[in-house]
Amino acid sequence: GAGVSQSPSNKVTEKGKDVELRCDPISGHTALYWYRQSLGQGLEFLIYFQGNSAPDKSGLPSDRFSAERTGGSVSTLTIQRTQQEDSAVYLCASRKGGQGDQPQHFGDGTRLSIL
Amino acid sequence: GQSLEQPSEVTAVEGAIVQINCTYQTSGFYGLSWYQQHDGGAPTFLSYNALDGLEETGRFSSFLSRSDSYGYLLLQELQMKDSASYFCAVRGEGAAGNKLTFGGGTRVLVKP
């Protein structure tokens, strides 16, 4: 596709349930990032994938959060046993190439609400 | 670690000039980026400064002083559509600086 695609755009679930968020990056982009953005706040880094290298998971807030990227393309972010503090917009971004100076291209995000 | 400071909100009228300052403290530094985000929308890339000086792109310009750990985004000839949040982000950590650390964002409100 032309841009980064995320699904679902909105997700409402009950506390304690597991959720899966999907990101489809721009074709050919080797780097993929997940961020979390609470209302009126900046972007909090969660995890970074680059090609076939081991992901940088240093931003994951707890072991309830995990992510994978299959075939170097689509990525899923999984949150287990959701808590109300997990409510936020989850943004995915992809970047061309191995150089960090290339801009990141963001999807529209998944707005997650935990009841 | 990395930390960035930018003002939380700025209000200006159409046609005016707004400068959004960003100061940073980092353990490593490769460059400073700026992103724009309209309410409910995706952040979009505006500019990137790796070296000291001013980069101009149309009505928007970005400045960097590495010795002062400081940069700014200058918005000229403000238009209503410029009402958005603006984030500075430091490229500094991770292998080859592949991670961005974002500031808390500056909400710009443009009034008629």
Residues 6+ apart with CB under 8 A from B39: B84, B85
Residue among A28, A60, A3 at smallest CA distance from A68: A60
Higher per-residue pLDDT: B99 or A24: A24
Mutate to test the interface with A, among B26, B48, B100 (most CBs of A within 10 A): B100
Of B45, B95, B107, the CB nearest to A104: B45
With cut-offs at 50, 70 and 90, classify the pLDDT of residue A66. Answer: very high
Q: Who has greater pLDDT, A2 or B44? A: B44
- Number of CB atoms found within 10 A of residue A44's CB: 16
pLDDT for B27: 80
Q: What percent of chain A has pLDDT over 70?
A: 97
| pLDDT at residue number A41 | 87
Chain B interface mutation, best of A41, A106, A110, A111, highest count of B Cβ atoms under 10 Å: A106
Is B70 within 8 Å of chain A by CB?
no
The bridge status of strand B9-13 relative to strand B31-37 is unpaired
* pLDDT of res. B93: 62
Q: Is pLDDT above 60 for A23?
A: yes
Average pLDDT score, chain A: 93
On chain A, the residues whose CB falls within 8 A of the CB of B97 are 100-101
The amino acid occupying position B110 is V
- Within chain B, which residues score under 50 in pLDDT? none
